[in-house]
Structure formats: structure tokens, C-alpha cells
Amino acid sequence: MPPLVNTPVYFGNFLVTPQVFHLTTHSFALVNIKPLLPGHVLVSPRRAAKRLSDLNHVEVTDLFLTVQQVGRMIERFYGASSLNIAIQDGPAAGQSVPHLHTHIIPRQSADLDGQGGSDAIYGMLEGEDGDVGKHLWEKSNRRPKFPAVDDSSRKPRSEQEMAEEAQKLAHEMKQQQLHEKSSSAAL
């Protein structure tokens, strides 16, 4: 399945073009290799800025408008009633890839009751489960000498699985944009 984007898209040092489902002038949205919950996606600036403060005002505006648009679509598509939107801004905050990114995680009532309640998502983001950089590193052919221990309940997804989800979400983004355009025209 060909990627939706014709030019290479990098997330840090990782080529993620097949995972990209939405692209703007300054931002891109991609499916996550190892989502914490179904529908967990990332939105990142196209320029490999490490921190939010590294972005100029045009990039900040584009990033947050993209987060808003993608969030609406993800919430609808996954039947969520709420979203977690998070940025780990720097290594001390848990950022694992030195490229600013925003997590969008669709939530439903009681979805993490068996894991300590709705706030358990924050521990998941900061722990090994949320270490996007580690999962991308393991997926690449540059594996560390000793394999890392991973939890058995969450397996990294294949390129094909991520590309298929990216295709579905790209379609949904187009549908949403058409709907929003027709709604604003009616005003």
C-alpha cells in the first residue's frame, strides 16, 4: 500500500512516511507504533523542533489547529467521549524522541478502571509503555545489543497495520474537513 504522502516525513531520525495520515503546511499527524489505547495518535511539527518554545508563532498556530482538527476526528471515529492531549516537552518531562510531538488519546468512561482509573494514562505516558522513541528504535534495523524486555499485552504494530490505519484516518480527515467547510459556509 503506497504512503499517502509523496515526500519523506521524519519524526526525529525515524522515517515515518507510511504512518502519516494528515499533513499541513507546518504539521503532520501519524499513527502510533504502540498505542496506549486504540486511536492514540501523534501530531508533530514538520520541522524537527525539539521543544515547543523552539517553534515560531506560525508553527505553533498550525500545530494546535491540527491537534484540534485531528482530535475531533479521532474522538468521532473511535467513539470516544473525551481526549487526553499531552506534550512531554523535553527529556525531563518524558520526551523520548527529540522532536516535539503531541499525543492525542481517545478516552471513554471507565476505559482504564482495571488499571487504576482514568489518571492511569499519565503513568502509561511517562513509563515504558509510552516510550515512542524506544519502540521506533526497536522497529528500525538498529537494535541495541540486548533486547529490551517488553510487556506481553502490547505488541508493536506492523508497517502494514499502521499504513492501513493511516489510510482510514486520512479518509476520515477529508470527510471531516468537507463537513466543517460546508457547516461554516452555511453560517
Q: Which three three-digit cell numbers place residue 116?
A: 487504576
The candidate with the shortest Cα–Cα distance to 62, out of 75, 84, 79, 45, is 45
The candidate with the shortest Cα–Cα distance to 73, out of 46, 100, 41, is 41
The candidate with the shortest Cα–Cα distance to 89, out of 119, 60, 118, is 60
Q: Which helix (H) or strand (E) holds 113?
A: none
φ, ψ of residue 185 to 5 degrees: the values are -70, -30
Cα dist. 139→7, 13, 126 in Å? 21, 13, 20
Could you list the active site residues? 101
